[in-house]
Structure formats: C-alpha cells, structure tokens
Amino acid sequence: MKLIETDRDTLLKPLQTVTGIVERRHTLPILSNVLIERKQEKISFVATDLEIQITTSAEHVNPDSEEYAVTVAAKKLQDILRALPDKAQVILETDENRLRAKAGKSRFSLQTLPVEDFPKFPEGTEPQAKITVQQKELKHMLSLVQYAMAQQDIRYYLNGLLLLLEDNYLRVVATDGHRLAFALMMLEASQEKKEVILPRKVVLELVRLLNDSDEPVTVEILQNQVRFSFSNVILVSKVVDGKFPDYNRVIPTGYEKQFDINRLLLLQTLQRASILSNEKFRGVRLILTTGNLRIVCNNSEQEEAQEELELQYDGDALDIGFNITYLLDVLNNLSSETVRCSFGDANSSALIAIPGNDDFKYVVMPMRI
C-alpha cells in the first residue's frame, strides 16, 4: 500500500524535528520508532521517550483519502533520507510488517512494529495556566540559564529547570548546587502562581527547536504536564516531581565590592588562563586590588598562567577562587557588552549580572585553591 509520495525534504524536516528525543538503544524497541499517521488529509510524525512526546506534521504531501498508521525506526529512516540527493522524489509503501522506501533506483526495506504498541500520551486535560510569548524571547531565556542545570545529580529535581508563573512575570531558574542562573520576562497579563520543573532533556530540545523569530509559542501548564505549541510542533512533557530550592535565598544582595568589565575581554582572558588550569579541579584565582584584576591558574605540573586587567575598582582587596568552567559558561551564554561582578568576601558566592538590567542574575560559589 502506497503511503506517501513527495520530495525528500518534505519528509526529512518533520523527522529531524521529532527524532531529537529518540534513543537508538532502548529497553522498549518501540521507543526507537517514529509513528507516522495520516488522518483527515494530514500526515503527523510522533516520537516519545515516555517522558516527552513531540508531534509535527508534513505539508505538501500527495492528497490521498485513505487513513493509515505505521511505526518505523526513526533514526534509520532519517539517515536514509539524509543520504538521498536533494529534491529526490521519495515513495513510502507498506507491505505486511515492512516499510519500503524508494527514490530513483534506491530501494530500502525497514521493519515496522505494531502501531497499537506505540505509547502515545493521552489527550491532556484543560490547562491550569496558559501564556503566549515570542519564540525568540523564550529561547533566549532558556539559553541564559540552561547550562547551570545539573546533569546526573541524585537530587533529581536539580536535573531540570524551574519554570515559574507569578503576577506579570515568567521566571526560569537552573542550579546544580554550585552555581545558579536566574532570568525573568514580563508578561502582558497577570498570572496565578504556578511552578513546574521541566526535565533537562525538554529544555535542551526547546532550545534546539524554537526559532529566533517573533512567531508565538504557547505554554500550557496541565496536570503533571507542560505543553509547548509552536511552528507546527506540539511538545508535551511530564514534569519533575520535587521541590526546587528557594532561589531567592541564594541570590546575594548588598555586595559592595563590584566592578563592571567588558564581557568579551574577560571571557578571552579567562580562556587563555584556563589552558594551564588543573584538568580535574579547574580552579582559577581572582585577585582584586585597586584598579587591577589579576587572574591566576595553576596545574599539577607546577605550570602557571597569569593575566592582568585594568579596571575601575576602588574597594577592599580580595583573593577568591572559582571553578573557571562556571565563569566561562555564563560569559559564553550572555550577549551583553558589559557584565557586573559583585563579591562579598573570599568565602561568599559571587554575583554576575548585567548593569542596569535586573532580568538576569548568576550566582557562583567560591572554591578553595
């Protein structure tokens, strides 16, 4: 039975959208598959890993009234389509438990699995909260904080990102226990307080899929789920169960030792110094004196890198150590020309912010060097 006849890119684009969450090796073989489904003149592509489900659809596909559904290995089909020439005409057909792909003189036969075994999410309930923002704004917010998420912490709620709706603001917060990134955005309408923890994988997928455009993205908080709808894509995610740390207690206020510095200058200086940092501990010393910042890295071979920067600073002297990776992360992910660095004492966390802008804050704990 012939399913689809169209050009390569019409199939490849939706496949690339959904296959980001597909695991090649999974204990459930069906989770390596994509569900291709035709209903009412629309062909949809669905992928899931039981925690996240992404759905998108193909446009400009040959009109055919017959409805069907088939599941096939997502990455294999994607790799086949990628390897075909641009603008190649592709025909997909089913034959018992096989999917056949044809293009020119190329022929591929792929195994299919029963559609009824595919674990589609049930239709969501009415949203408890709903907002619509520009895709570029949400993508920018997530990019500002996502690098601070934990990766495999036993405190599972740190392996994700707090999304908080309250009053006229959307706030996002990520922390791994050593550093914390916070960003906020003003909303058009006031919201009842709702907070959810998004899994790490969802945040990374959103950063990958959202466009740098003014097009809208709708965020709906459901019972134990969050749904993002944008650009012909519906991403539904389960939320992480747990209590996120109180970020307000972590963000310091009233620090008097502070200076403003060009972000790229500081980034490039730290990148040079990091070449000789200890590969395991990644330590860097910041030695602050009147009008001067000295940056020092040592490693276990007794090698040393020193850099000096002139700056406008007239406060008390300070000698404080940090994990240099944590400093590089924030400087790489900001786009502002200048950053403001504020300090308490050698045992207190540092605060990195953007001068004249309270929408972003980054807190990093010191380390002994």
Residue with tokens 């330590």: 283
Using 50 as the pLDDT threshold, list the residues of the chain that sit under it: none
Closest C-alpha among 277, 364, 366 to residue 326: 364
The pLDDT tens digits for 276-320 are 999 999 999 999 999 999 999 999 999 999 999 999 999 999 999
The pTM assigned to this predicted structure is 0.93
At CA 282, angle to CA 277 and CA 284, rounded to 5?
Answer: 70
pLDDT at 58: 86
- Burial bucket for residue 167 (CB in 10 Å: 0-12, 13-18, 19+): exposed
Residue-range domains of the chain with CATH: 2-117 (3.10.150.10), 129-249 (3.10.150.10), 252-364 (3.10.150.10)
Which pLDDT value is given to residue 42? 83
Rounded distance, CA 316 to CA 304, Å? 26
Whole-angstrom Cα distance, residue 221 to residue 219?
7
Please state the length of the chain: 369
Q: Mind listing the pLDDT tens digit for each residue in 185-229?
A: 999 999 999 999 999 999 999 999 999 999 999 999 998 999 999
User: For the chain, percent helix, then strand, then coil, each to nearest 5?
Assistant: 25, 45, 30
* CA–CA dist 121, 369 (Å, integer): 50
